[in-house]
């Protein structure tokens, strides 16, 4: 059945709301430019699922829990309404970093070592404690929410003071976090569209890592096509496509990775609703192969 109307869901209630609002506006304009009847809906405040029809297509521009946890996808699948991106189970597999990394490890896909923490308020605050032995030896670690994105509440930890500051500065220290081994060399991402890898993007930033400022505020962040030998390019794509299969993803997604100084790749996480702002990685990669923003939006719609 032909798609007549594209409803762009944006906003949400997560800490990534502002990023989602920007992504949604860009996507909505592209949808109009492509000639569809378009509607921009702030989710969940103005979303009425009972008014959806089989001719509607839902473009999920929601970041964080609202768009990536799988609950929205589950509802749309039950109503047989087509939507962008992966289905419910794939979102469940990728949304929680601990769940995702267990699947990666179980399927022999390299990922940095990690420890799960139920709450920062319960975490041991001395890096010399046996609690951290699983991650030794280390000079630094990364502290990340188990369920969130856009580098909100992500901290680089190299001292007990860093731990104390992270707990004090966290938006929500009561939720689950992971402590992750730091892989130091290159930070990169591989967008996947309709089962094929787009060019890998290397991220260079003046920040200590690719944090919220580097992603959305700083003008000096460099996103360039990653230069690799043919063998390493094939290895990277093989890892990313295996990750897609293991997670059960489809449509469009982004695999974030690190490369160490020995040129080994490590999968950090999978994003099932990537950012689509002017600073975002997915449009940057698509642009490098001549795919305009509007063309990319059309391909994402077609990817169902």
Q: Does the active-site annotation cover 275?
A: yes
Q: Does the active-site annotation cover 17?
A: no
Domains of the chain: 5-84 (3.40.50.20), 93-110+183-302 (3.30.470.20), 114-181 (3.30.1490.20)
Q: Does the active-site annotation cover 16?
A: yes
pLDDT, one tens digit for every residue, the chain (304 residues):
688 899 999 999 987 899 899 999 999 999 999 999 999 999 999 999 888 888 899 999 999 899 999 999 999 999 999 999 999 999 999 999 999 999 999 999 999 999 999 999 988 899 999 999 999 999 999 999 999 765 688 999 999 999 999 999 998 899 999 999 999 889 999 999 999 999 999 987 655 555 555 455 556 556 788 899 999 999 999 999 999 999 999 999 999 999 999 999 999 999 999 999 988 899 999 999 999 999 999 999 999 6
- The pTM of the full predicted model, rounded to 2 decimals, is 0.92
How many Cα neighbours within 13 Å face the side chain of 151?
A: 16
Catalytic residue among 23, 86, 170, 271: 271
How many Cα neighbours within 13 Å face the side chain of 63?
A: 23
How far is CA 109 from its chain centroid?
Answer: 18
DSSP 146: S
Report the C-alpha gap between 110 and 38 in whole angstroms. 41
Q: Does the active-site annotation cover 263?
A: no
Report the C-alpha gap between 254 and 302 in whole angstroms. 17
Q: Does the active-site annotation cover 271?
A: yes
- Token representation of residue 194: 């309709």
Q: Is 50 exposed, middle or buried (0-12, 13-18, 19+ CB in 10 A)?
A: exposed
Read out DSSP for 230-275? HHHHHHHHHHHHHHHHHHT--SEEEEEEEE-TT--EEEEEEESS--
- Token representation of residue 296: 């990319």
């Amino acid at each position: 059945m032909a798609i007549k109307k594209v409803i762009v869901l944006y906003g949400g209630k997560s800490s990534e709301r502002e990023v989602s609002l920007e992504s949604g506006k860009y996507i909505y304009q592209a949808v109009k430019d492509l000639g569809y009847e378009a509607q921009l809906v702030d989710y969940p405040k103005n979303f009425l699922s009972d008014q959806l029809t089989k001719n509607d297509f839902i473009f999920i521009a929601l970041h964080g829990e609202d768009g990536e946890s799988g609950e929205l996808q589950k509802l749309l699948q039950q109503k047989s309404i087509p939507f962008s991106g992966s289905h419910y189970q794939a979102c469940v597999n990728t949304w929680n970093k601990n769940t995702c990394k267990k699947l990666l490890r179980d399927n022999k896909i390299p990922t940095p070592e990690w420890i799960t923490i139920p709450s920062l308020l319960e975490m041991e605050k001395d890096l010399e404690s046996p609690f951290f032995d699983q991650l030794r030896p280390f000079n630094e670690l990364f502290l990340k929410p188990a369920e969130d994105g856009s580098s909100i509440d992500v901290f680089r930890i190299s001292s007990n003071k860093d731990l104390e500051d992270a707990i004090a500065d966290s938006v929500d220290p009561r939720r689950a976090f992971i402590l992750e081994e730091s892989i130091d060399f290159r930070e990169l991402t591989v967008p996947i569209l309709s089962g094929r890898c787009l060019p890998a993007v290397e991220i260079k930033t003046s920040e200590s890592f690719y944090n919220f400022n580097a992603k959305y505020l700083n003008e000096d962040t460099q996103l360039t096509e990653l230069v690799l030998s043919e063998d390493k390019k094939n290895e990277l794509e093989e890892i990313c496509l295996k990750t897609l299969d293991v997670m059960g993803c489809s449509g469009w997604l982004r695999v974030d990775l690190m490369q160490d100084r020995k040129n080994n790749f490590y999968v950090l996480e999978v994003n099932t609703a990537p950012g689509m702002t002017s600073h975002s990685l997915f449009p940057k990669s698509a642009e490098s192969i001549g795919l305009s923003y509007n063309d990319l939006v059309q391909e994402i719609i077609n990817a169902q």
